[in-house]
A and B are shown apart, each in its own frame.
Chain A
């Protein structure tokens, strides 16, 4: 046991001496959270729009004011012709234009039927969709106020309730994603590099001649990274609660326990990579290709897995981050308990056991 601790201490010294890497390890998650939280947001806020009002009556003014008053839109321009619309879009000054035809209020009151045209810049299809949806909702809302309830015999009012994330904050989705990404990267890449480094330097051979058991060597090398990961988990959670206002709805203890489990999974992946990689560069490259991209693509964090072709959906099952992402969303955002995530937890445990078992087996083979 004492030998084991001495090894852990030595490993810690390696990390401590390499301040630049330590700095990156500790601050990368913080920077990612800040970037995703404040800069790379796909939420729509204050989108620039223009209004082409050919009617200029009480109704169109009321709708325009309502649109301008919402936090989603910012009317930057009034247009006076259809050519104007084209020109303004081409200059990239606006994301959407609202067009009221002539005699809008008259049509509305006398033929009970009026039209509004929404023209959106669909070079970014998601934003275009979101903007037109928001605008339609505002117009609908106005329509409701016009007629007293029950004046029409058949009306269906849709009532939408956004569960778990009423304000539709992007943070609810990316905080779990960043956690999965950071833990995978820190643990797997750093451990694989650390182990391969010893092989490259020739120190591994000397350690293997010592009475330390290979299994213990491997475990000792991972422990400092486990600690760094705990710091990362803490900093991500603190930032998300206090800076991004994403509350932890579920049990904090369960969330941390699951994160530690996922950390161990990632460490096992790192050990496995170190078995095959011969140089530190190769270890880094393998980690990047086999972890970073799949985690980004197949965890469900950036792209919904349900929309992928079936073969890709099958592949996504092999990505540990997918399961962790589901767990974090369930526990942290939805506030569910262990009964909801036991299946995913079991999958992660099985993956970890298989990875660890296989890498230790491989490690022994190499020695024979």
Chain B
């Protein structure tokens, strides 16, 4: 059974001067899929993601996100996606509740819906009773789980996660991934960049970027078989060794 595609790119390219950050990238992401976007630092992951989020205009090629064109329907795309940036992106001087309220509010959720969502979210994160705590006072793991829940508070079609688990301990990372699975189960497509290879194995499909191009794209199991490796680590190393660009 063919599922519908929520992201389709065709020869998507981004050049900064004579540097080609993203080079003729074509791929499709299906609805409800957890799509891993893997590559060394400087491989072009973030640039590609920024183009899909409408933060950056492509130099050439085409792309549609949630059925909308990245060139012309920027505003429509923004309404249908969620985004969690590399940098931790909640307001430290606001409370948990205020952060939820703010982000839900700017996506235009109605007040009663915001209240429902807030309760649900606090319960899910076991943060009930802590809603008046300033985010500054939370441990990093909590902050990241909260940031993810807030990124999908408006039930977007797709959520883009840019290295969401940087600097977090393995246990919290597992908990974080269970949140991701839960969201995917609700039909939210997950587009995630990471450089933890164990996380790559959690994805339904993985694309590996080298020097701005996608060199491999398949399910982790198929990739491990194809590259005759017991882990994604091995697959990645074989591909990344070909890179000419050095990471930053």
Please list the residues of chain A having a beta carbon within 8 angstroms of any beta carbon in chain B: 2-3, 6-7, 10, 13-14, 17-18, 201-203, 205-212, 367-368
Contacts and interface: CB of A to CB of B under 8 A. Distances in A.
Looking at B57, B84, B102, B103, the one whose CB has the most chain A CB atoms below 10 A away is B102
Contact of A211 (B56, B98, B108): B108
Given A2-B105, A211-B106, A211-B108, A203 B83 contact: no
A368 B59 CA distance: 10
Contacts of A2: 105, 108
B73 to A, nearest CB: 12
Looking at A6, A208, A209, the one whose CB has the most chain B CB atoms below 10 A away is A209
A209 B106 contact: no
A7 B91 CA distance: 12
A202 B88 contact: yes
Contacts of A202: 85-89
Contact of B93 (A7, A13, A212): A13
B55 interface: yes
B89 A211 contact: no
A207 B186 CA distance: 24
B107 A13 contact: no
B78 interface: yes
A206 B82 CA distance: 9
B115 interface: no
B146 to A, nearest CB: 13
B101 interface: yes
B89 A210 contact: no
Contacts of A211: 75, 78-79, 106-108
Given A205-B89, A211-B106, 14 more contacts: A3-B106, A6-B101, A13-B98, A14-B91, A14-B93, A17-B94, A17-B134, A201-B88, A203-B89, A203-B91, A205-B83, A205-B85, A210-B106, A367-B55
B53 interface: yes
Closest A-B pairs by Cβ, 4 of them: A202-B87, A6-B105, A209-B83, A17-B93
Nearest to A4: B106
A368 B85 contact: no
B54 interface: yes
A96 B106 CA distance: 69
Interface of B: 53-57, 75, 78-79, 81, 83-94, 98, 101-103, 105-108, 134, 151, 160
A367 B88 CA distance: 20
Nearest to A202: B87
Looking at A13, A18, A368, the one whose CB has the most chain B CB atoms below 10 A away is A13
A368 B56 contact: yes
A273 B78 CA distance: 27
B54 A209 contact: yes
Contacts of A17: 93-94, 134
B83 A367 contact: no
27 contacts: A3-B106, A3-B107, A10-B102, A13-B93, A13-B98, A14-B91, A17-B94, A17-B134, A201-B87, A201-B89, A202-B85, A202-B86, A202-B88, A203-B89, A205-B83, A205-B85, A209-B54, A209-B55, A209-B78, A209-B160, A210-B78, A210-B83, A210-B106, A211-B75, A211-B107, A211-B108, A367-B56
A247 to B, nearest CB: 42
Contacts of B89: 201-203, 205-206
A206 B94 contact: no
A201 B57 CA distance: 23
A141 B143 CA distance: 79
Nearest to B84: A206
A209 B56 CA distance: 10
B135 to A, nearest CB: 11
Contacts of B85: 202, 205-206
Contacts of A212: 106
Contacts of B79: 211
Given A211-B79, A211-B107, A211-B108, A10 B86 contact: no
A14 B102 CA distance: 12
A46 to B, nearest CB: 50
Nearest to B76: A211
A307 B188 CA distance: 69
Contacts of A13: 93-94, 98
A3 B94 contact: no
